[in-house]
Structure 1
Amino acid sequence: MQNNKAFSLMPLKLRLPYLYDLLRELVSRNMKLLYKRSLLGVAWTLINPLLQLAVFAFVFQTVIPIQTPHYASFVFTGLLVWTWFQNSLFEATGVITANRPLIRQPGFPKAILPIVITTTGLIHFILALPVLIVFLLFDGIELKPVILFLPIINLIQFAFTISLSYFLAAVNVTFRDTQHTLGVLLQLFFYLTPIFYDHTQVSAIPPAYYLNPMVHIVGAYRAIFINGTQPDWLGLVLITLAISIALPIGLQFFRRQSDRFVEEL
């Protein structure tokens, strides 16, 4: 506890470089562990979305045809965004229990671990972008200057994922079935998010549907990649305002619970 206080009292100009170096090393370690003794390496991050794309393309273009332009690019964009969100949130929920040796080190900044997981997911998303661009070009979609808004949307999704991760990671230490419950909920929300269907073509959608932030985030990616238009800034601004409230609360809850992590692990 004294070492934690010592770290918090460290001058900001010393603390930030330390945290940056620590984040870089932990992300590098995480990437190496993920693909240790793997023949395909990072290609595994694309295999699942590509297989899902093949299934959805077969079902909704052959069995039950739906009229969605550029369907392959439409679905693949949604799958990449959702894969980053789902994998990061699920892994971040169990990150404390999965890193007992680090948690037991005095003075270790525990709050960095969910950031490490989400950053790893962001790297996977960036590595998949060239494949997405190939899909877009093959579909005859011309990339427009609005693609420059991509980092802003990335940042919003990153902060949204972290906001949820802090709360879930802390709760999972006490209630170990949190991660399993989350897996079921993520499966549910996959169908409540327009990944393989265009919600604008569905009639009588209840207003509560739009309370799902991922509806707006996925739509923002499709706007800049596929439609070549500005994203729905109103929806993104509302999500940002919600994050500005949820993130400090989640971080504070995580820090309060972190004092008992060592005992409960």
Structure 2
Amino acid sequence: MSSIKKRKSKIKPLFKWRFYYLYDLLRELVNREMKLLYKRSALGVAWMLLNPLLQLAVFTFVFSFVLSVDIPQYTSFAFSGLLVWTWFNSSLFQATGVIIHNRPLIRQPGFPNAILPVVTVTTGLIHFILALPVLVIFLLIDGVQLQPVVILLPILQALQFAVTISLAYLLAGFNVTFRDTQHTIGVLLQLLFYVTPIFYDITNVPKNYQFLYYLNPMVHLVNAYRTVLIKGTAPDWLALLVMALVTSVCLPIGLQIFRWQSDRFVEEL
């Protein structure tokens, strides 16, 4: 019994040390990623808002003056969807090539390869959080009053983080062996953008096709963010619970496949 207790007492400090090591490594890699993204950039982090703001301007013009749609607070409606989508889209696209773009790190003995997709998704989360004040400004301009239910945002962010990282592991691993993966995911994400209710409402989709839309996890996430921010009510907990259960199965599978692939990373690179 005494020997078992000694082993347990040794495991705890090792686990604690490993946790702090990975945390510090994640923080440093995210800082490096942010610096590389905006190195010698005059606008800096403001670039992350340029694309969604330009898209918002186009959507607002087209769907307010050309193809008029009856959606209240359309600016806030579209911008909230764009921010959620931008985090998902940029994280997956960048995570697909994250192993190839970090060859020096991958070739270092003992480097935890699995942290690299997490770095990419975490960087996207930081961009999302930094853009939230701009979204709040649009909400106030549109006359939306934030309700106490807004405290649920971290739950939605955590769920989106888990969904994104589970897919990121699969794509990052496959792209090392099959280099067409990053090109393919770019096309698929472009198609997925149009079948996600970002600049239109899900109620505009014919009922015969709505069940296909609900197979898309981004539909539930976008709707949940809008329900919390714009409507000021609780999201569809049943849909989010199903997403959480599916993600809890997909995430370990994606991580395991990534680890299997990682045995050949050095050879493939």
Please indicate, yes or no, whether the TM-score normalized by the shorter chain is above 0.5: yes
Q: What amino acid does structure 1 have at the position aligned with 2:87?
A: W
Q: 1:226 aligns with which of 227, 230, 239?
A: 230
In the aligned structure 1, how far is the partner of 2:181 from the partner of 2:242? 28
Counterpart CA distance in 2 for 1:231 and 1:98 is 38
SS of equivalent to 1:180: helix
Unaligned 5+ runs, structure 2? 1-10
Equivalence for 1:237: 241
Superposition pairs of residues 44-193 of structure 1, within 5 angstroms: 44-193=47-196
Aligned counterparts of 1:9 and 1:226: Cα–Cα separation in 2 = 45
SS, match of residue 207 in structure 2: coil
Are residues 237 and 69 of structure 1, via their aligned partners in 2, closer, same or farther at CA, if it must alter by over 3 Å?
Answer: same
Q: Determine the structure 2 residue equivalent to 1:204.
A: 207
Which of 20, 25, 32 is matched with 1:22 structurally? Answer: 25
Deviation digits for residues 155-178 of structure 1, max 9, x if unmatched? 000000000000100000001010
CA RMSD of aligned residues (A): 1.3
Please give the alpha-carbon distance, in whole angstroms, between the structure 2 residues aligned to 1:73 and 1:252: 39
Structure 1 residue aligned with 2:3: none
> What are the Cα deviations for residues 114-136 of structure 1, in whole angstroms up to 9, with x where unaligned?
00000000000000010000000
* CA distance, structure 2, for counterparts of residue 195 and residue 160 of structure 1: 18
CA distance in 2, matches of 1:262, 1:249: 22
Letter in 2 for 1:103: I
The alpha carbon displacement at 1:11 in A equals: 2.1
**Matches of 2:177 and 2:12, distance apart in 1:** 29
The one-letter code sitting in structure 2 at the alignment partner of 1:29 is R
- Aligned pair partner of 2:45 in 35, 42, 47: 42
Q: Distance in 2 between matches of 1:146 and 1:238?
A: 21
Matches of 1:9 and 1:132, distance apart in 2: 43
Q: Looking at CA atoms only, which structure, 1 or 2, has the larger radius of gyration?
A: 2
Q: Deviations over 1:230-250 (max 9, x none)?
A: 011111100000100000000
Q: Normalised by the size of structure 1, how large is the TM-score? A: 0.96
CA displacement 1:5-42 (0-9 Å, x = unmatched): xxx99921110000000000000000000000000001
Q: Read off the aligned partner of 1:177 and give its amino acid letter.
A: D
1:151-205 CA-to-partner distances (Å, cap 9, x unmatched) read: 0000000000000000100000001010000000000000010000001233324
How many residues align? The count is 258
Structure 1 residue corresponding to 2:251, chosen from 227, 230, 247: 247
**For 1:127 and 1:254, how far apart are their aligned partners in 2?**
30
Match in the other structure for 1:217: 221
Instruction: Tell me the residue number matched to 1:259.
Output: 263
Q: Hey, what does 2:6 align to over in structure 1?
A: none
151 and 114 in structure 1: CA distance in 2 versus 1, 3 angstrom threshold: same
Overall identity of the aligned pairs, in %: 69
> Which residue in the other structure is 2:4 paired with?
none
